[in-house]
Amino acid sequence: MPPPIVLNVAEKPSVARSLAQVFSSSPGSRPRNNHPGPTQIFECENVCFPSLYQQGQGRTMPNNAPGDPHTMITTSVRGHLASQDFGPAYGWSRCPPVALFEAPINTEYKEDMQPLEGMLRDLSRRASALILWLDCDREGEAISDEVRAVCLKGNPRLGTQNRIYRAKFSTVLPGEIGRALRTLGRVNENFVQAVQLRSEHDLRVGAAFTRFQTLRLQKKFDGFQERGVVSYGPCQFPTLGFVVERWARIETFIPENFWALEMSIRLNADGSVANDSVQNQNGNVYSNQQGKSIHLNWKRVRLYDRPTTTAIYDACLEAGEAVVTSLTGRPKNKWRPIPLATVELQKRASKYLRIGSEELMHKAEELYNQGFISYPRTETEKFRPEFNHHTLIQSFEAVAGEFGDFASNLLSNNNFQNPRAGPNDDNAHPPITPAKAVSPDALIHPKILTMSLF
């Protein structure tokens, strides 16, 4: 019996290329010539892993499970294949905007996606099984459903024989891909329906309100027709509201001058007050920088009247000294940071690197596609109990420079502590973390890797 032919579909060409490299580097595999197409097609024979037909039930095959040979055909899409829109009967001039809330929605493949659709249909006719390697989030699950629908048109037996599988992975490293091939599951239909519902809601609400306000404003104001469509979106309008609110505060803000008193003292090691200036043996007077400086806060914080502030300042100078009436204190804890999620990565990149969100995510996805970091779009802020931190840290000991020194320090004298768990977990991806050791000098974007490590 010939080995099963498995069609593997990734979400991006770069991920498909990385998968093909992993398949071709497995022991005993035989890469074949790549095929041209709307996206590149890779083929590799004799890729061994636990039989597909024993998986898909939500259980993990053991590491020592016997491997069966498979012929792997690997390609990709470029995001969503299909798009939704209203039919010709529901054009701008053919129905009132309110009719769009109940109008039927058509699924279609735009011209630039039709070659991809045809390619997947042709490849699925050769395949005896389909593995979906889309991103492991809700959007990836919805794209998996679109790919599945196209492949079923080309080969209905994939559905009747229940041979469509879903791979869960966070990096494109050989170990992670091997684990995914031992834990193949099914498409999460709940996630698919959630994305479809959100997409339908956005389409109906956005189209209806866009038409309503555009037509109404065109009738109400002269010359408004030349301005085009006044778009409405369920997300963009609340965001626009925040922007306008902030703009209004800035425009209506009236600056006022204010004055404040600042006071600090410097204490010696024995708790006595140190002199502000010290004279050395040569008679030169210099500012005393020794001891611990304590800055005192004024209870009134600030005053908007300069004469009153000056009078209080003069009274302090005349008094010459102050009496401490009470002294209170409390311990201050500096908590370990929680594991890195996408929002925090964006905040740090903006604050420390002056990189915008769009540029950051593009660079982070490059590092992910090269296998240097885990998937960069995640809400998870806690590691799974089985995550092996020590193995990852030990791999960085061999890296010269700051990375290697930091790793060695963590592993010496029991300095390493497990990261503090955060409150969020998307149950799809781990926190953003390095996936393999690499010198920062070898990277185009080393600072992003540094943020995920430190």
DSSP SS3 for 172:
coil
Strand ranges for 50-193 from DSSP E: 68-76, 83-86, 105-108, 129-133, 164-166
Catalytic residue numbers, as ranges = 375
Q: Which residue has the tokens 């010290």?
A: 278
> How many whole angstroms separate alpha carbon 171 and alpha carbon 177?
8
CA–CA–CA angle 8, 11, 17 (5° rounding)? 65
Q: Which residue has the tokens 């999460």?
A: 188
The phi, psi pair for 224, rounded to 5°, reads -75, -20
- What is the DSSP code (8-state) at residue 353? I
Q: What is the DSSP string of 256-320?
A: ---B---EEEEE-TTSPBPPSEEE-TTS-EEE---SEEEEEPPTT--BS-HHHHHHHHHHHHHH-
Q: Which residue has the tokens 């005192």?
A: 296
Are 27 and 67 in contact, with CB atoms under 8 Å apart? no
Q: Which residue has the tokens 């109906």?
A: 204
Strands 105-108 and 30-31: unpaired
The identity of residue 29, as a single letter, is S
> How many whole angstroms separate alpha carbon 430 and alpha carbon 439?
23
Return the structure tokens found at 181: 């091939």
273, β-bridge pairs: 267
